[in-house]
Amino acid sequence: MFFATALPSILLFSTRPWLAAANGRDQQPPAPSPENTIYNDQNIRYVATVVVGGQSINVTLDTGSTDMWLNPRGGVGTFEDTRVPHKIAYADGNSYINGTIGLMQVSLAGHVVPKQAFVNVTENVNEDQCGHGVCGLIGLGFDNPDGGIEKALSDAGQDGPKIGKSLLSNIFDMNPDKGRFFALSLSRLDDSQDSAPATLHIADYDPRYASVQYEPMRPVFPSNKTTWDILSNGFTVNGYHLPLTANPENGAPPGQIIVGLDSGSPGVHTRPEIRDAIYSQIPGAVLAKNSSIPVRTWRKDEDVWVVPCNASVELTLDFGSNSYPVHPLDLTTMYTVTKDGVERTICTNTITNGGSIGGNPKGKDLLFGDPFLRNVYTVYSFGNSTTPPFAQFLPLTNASEAAKDFTSIRNKLLADGPPRA
């Protein structure tokens, strides 16, 4: 459905998201975290604390990349500078950091690496979050001799495979008797119930969710992939399974699609026809084509689904014989918008058009970011000599309870906020 009359009169000059900090959770930059606790920054990014050069620095946790970079306001202190330049670009390339590769002691989640490679940032374009107290990023992906810090060092004549390893790889190498995996749970701020606490465990499980180790293994596909891509059967919307077709060039088996797991993405990115198939099932939702409405998640086009803030859809993501419900709060974002000094409330889609996801037309069909990952406790295993890399999910969302929770929290926010647009 194309938007024709109601929204064009609302050309938004400013927006601010509605977030209800449940159970006393603070939305301000945190004090240094306990070992395994991570911080939810407005449902946009998940943040851990690393210790470098005697100072604590809050960094985004990103399963969609591998490199580590730091950009604190006062600098990282004394470190060994390789003088090897390195640039990391994100999304469509308009956001990036530049700097040189350094080596220094880094501590994360109780693990200390004496000599860790990272990018000491000297130029930051659209990735500077120090105003939110977040001054860096740690990639939780695979080492890759064909990219990242490792390749940059090798190209400069240094021993990239040895000194350019990711932080996780160095931690695993220092603990050969433990498994090469980590586990994440992501909290939801605007949840009136107790959502999963946000935690990171390396080579260990959160004891509350240790049963995840008995859940089905979802192998990385293809097995030599250096990103957290796995096979999915797609979506079920209001009990109807959406028949999805994989990109014919990416090699997915019939009836399956390739999805990437990316904790660094605040949205879900897919093809526009998949996005539209989901939101068209919500009563009253309309598609605003080429809209000026700003949204919080990156998208390839300017199309925005505007959804009644109290309307929901029952969505599950399907893997093999298992289905994982997605909380309705994770499918839309609620904003206060201002035009001509008048505030209104509006809700928009979190599942957006990802274009050629990952910049590769032969790549994944979807990128599952935080709106999905908040609903599962996820293990990311790098495998071993006999088992290829895989992911495991423990479901954390009960569909019927989530529907009640959605109605309760949205009705309260609507009652307390400006009129709906």
**Same domain (yes/no): 294, 168:** no
Residue keyed to tokens 């992906």: 141
Whether 253 and 162 share a structural domain: no
Beta strands 55-62 and 136-139 are parallel
Query: Are 222 and 370 found together in one domain?
Result: yes
Length of the chain: 421
Answer yes or no: is 8 within a domain. Answer: no
Task: Tell me: do 155 and 232 sit in the same domain.
Answer: no
Q: Do 263 and 125 reside in the same domain of the chain?
A: no
| Residue 189 burial (C-beta neighbours within 10 Å; 0-12, 13-18, 19+) | buried
Place of tokens 């670009």: 89
pLDDT tens across 30-70, in order? 443 467 889 998 888 999 999 998 899 999 999 999 999 99
Report the domain count for the chain: 2
Q: Measured between alpha carbons, how far is 380 from 63 in angstroms, rounded to an integer?
A: 9
Residue 189 CA, chain-centre distance (Å), reads: 15
Q: What is the 3-state secondary structure (H, E, C) of 3-54?
A: CCCCCCCCCCCEEEECCCCHHHCCCCCCCCCCCCECEEECCCEEEEEEEECC
Per cent of the chain over pLDDT 70 is 86
Residues 327-332: what's their mean pLDDT? 94
Tens digit of pLDDT for each residue in 66-82?
999 999 999 999 999 99
- pLDDT category, 11, cuts 50, 70, 90? very low
Domain that holds residue 149: 26-181
Minimum mean pLDDT among 173-182, 293-302, 412-421: which range? 293-302
Give the mean pLDDT of 169-182. 97
Tell me if 20 is assigned to some domain.
Answer: no
Nearest residue to 379 via CA among 270, 228, 259, 225? 228
* Average pLDDT taken over every residue of the chain: 86
Question: What mean pLDDT is predicted for residues 205-232?
Answer: 95
pLDDT number for residue 30: 44
pLDDT of the residue at 286: 96
pTM, entire model? 0.89
- Check pLDDT > 60 for residue 214: yes
The mean pLDDT of 154-160, rounded to a whole number, is: 97
Instruction: Kindly state whether residue 370 falls inside one of the protein's structural domains.
Output: yes
Q: Are residues 166 and 224 in the same domain?
A: no
> 271 — phi, psi (to 5°)?
-75, 150
Instruction: Tell me what pLDDT residue 229 has.
Output: 96
Across 237-261, b (16+ Cβ under 10 Å) vs e yields beeeebebebbeebebeeebbbbbb
pLDDT of the residue at 75 = 93
CATH number for the domain spanning 176: value is 2.40.70.10
When pLDDT is averaged across residues 203-232 and rounded to a whole number, the result is: 95
How much is the average pLDDT of 264-277?
89
Domain assignment present for residue 254? The answer is yes
Task: State yes or no: pLDDT of 117 exceeds 50.
Answer: yes
- Return the pLDDT at 278: 92
Q: The tokens of 318 are what?
A: 């399907």
Rounded to an integer, what distance in angstroms lies between the CA atom of residue 275 and that of residue 352?
A: 6
257 shares a domain with 175: no
Q: What value does the mean pLDDT take over residues 297-314?
A: 86
State yes or no: pLDDT of 106 exceeds 90.
yes
The single-letter code of the amino acid at 184 is L
Domain boundary among 181, 209, 238: 181
| Residue where a domain terminates, one of 181, 200, 230 | 181
Do 159 and 241 lie in one domain? The reply is no
3-state SS, residue 313: coil
Q: Is the pLDDT of residue 211 over 60?
A: yes
Higher-confidence residue: 288 or 293? 288
Query: Residue 76's pLDDT is what?
Result: 95
Q: How do residues 334-351 score in pLDDT, each as one tens digit?
A: 888 787 888 888 999 999
Contact 11, 292 (CB under 8 A): yes
Write out the E strands in 203-341. Answer: 218-219, 229-232, 234-237, 240-241, 257-261, 268-270, 286-288, 304-306, 315-319, 322-326, 332-339
> What's the pLDDT at 150?
98
Quick one: 339 and 278 in the same domain? yes
Specify the pLDDT at position 195.
62
